[in-house]
Amino acid sequence: EDKVVQSPLSLVVHEGDTVTLNCSYEVTNFRSLLWYKQEKKAPTFLFMLTSSGIEKKSGRLSSILDKKELFSILNITATQTGDSAIYLCAAASGTYKYIFGTGTRLKVLA
């Protein structure tokens, strides 16, 4: 059965800290790994990763995929209160399936 597991389930840090969020996956016909940030409403797209070892970066956020060990990490440096959200990862499998993890709830304290 296809599955995506995220850890930790929740995390509380102080502004300025660096955090690492983990996502492991087991899916058939893997195509890509996606990260989303969800605040109050719709998940918003952060990264899509298809190749191992190539870091994607956007400002203070970065992510990398390891297709051999079947995991991805999302790093956030110099965290800010605006980074507080649920971070979701999803593995794209086959023609239509995007399997989501249950998310990591991040709270950044001022």
Partner 1 sequence: TAGITQAPTSQILAAGRSMTLRCTQDMRHNAMYWYRQDLGLGLRLIHYSNTAGTTGKGEVPDGYSVSRANTDDFPLTLASAVPSQTSVYFCASSSYGQGSSPLHFGNGTRLTVT
List contacts with partner 1 (CB under 8 A).
31-32, 34, 41-45, 48, 50, 88, 90, 92-98, 100-103
Q: What is the CA radius of gyration of the chain?
A: 13
Cα–Cα distance between 69 and 48 in angstroms, integer?
17
Residue pair 33/93 in contact by the 8 Å Cβ criterion: no
Nearer to partner 1, 58 or 95 (CB): 95
Nearer to partner 1, 76 or 101 (CB): 101
Q: How far is the CB of 19 from partner 1 (least distance, A)?
A: 20
Strand ranges inside the chain, DSSP E:
3-7, 10-14, 19-26, 30-38, 43-49, 56-58, 61-66, 71-76, 85-93, 97-100, 104-109
Q: How far is the CB of 36 from partner 1 (least distance, A)?
A: 8
Q: How far is the CB of 104 from partner 1 (least distance, A)?
A: 11
Nearer to partner 1, 64 or 79 (CB): 64
Q: How far is the CB of 20 from partner 1 (least distance, A)?
A: 20
